[in-house]
Structure 1
C-alpha cells in the first residue's frame, strides 16, 4: 500500500476506536445512573439500561431476599405470639 492509503487506514482505525470508547463510556454512565440528559425531556425514564441476564439475576436475588425476610419476620412474629400467650397464662 502506498503512504496515503496507510494514513487513511490509520485515521479510520482511530475513528473506530474513538466511537467504541464513547459508546462504552455512555453505556457505563447509563448503567450507573450518571448519564446526563437534557432538561427539556418531559418523560421520566429510568436511565439505567441493564442486559436481560442482569435484570433476571437481580429479580431472582430480590425475590430470594424478600422471601428470606418474610420467613424471618414470620418466625419472629410466631415467637412473640408464643411468649405473649405464656405471659397471659402466668397472669391468670
Structure 2
C-alpha cells in the first residue's frame, strides 16, 4: 500500500482522538455528533494513542462529512458562516440518523 498522505493522516488522527475523547466523556453526544453506534463508540473509547495513530496512517479518510453536499454549497456561498437554518438542518439530520 502506498504511504499515507501526511495531511490525510493528520486529519484522521485528529478526528480519531476527538472521537475517543467524546466517546469517553459523553457517549450520547458522541453518537449524535459523530453518527456512530454505542458499540463502536465503546471500542473507540478503549483505543490507545498508538492504535489511533496506526489507524490514521491507513492512507484513506477514516471519516466522512455528516452534511449533505447542498449544505456544504450553501455554507461556502455564505462565506463560511453557518446560518441558523444550516445549523438547524444539520441538527435535524443528525437527530434523524439516531432515531430507532
TM-score category, normalised to shorter length:
under 0.3
- Which structure has more relative contact order (CA 8 Å, sep 6+)? It is 2
TM-score by length of 1: 0.27
TM-score by length of 2: 0.25
Higher helix share: 1
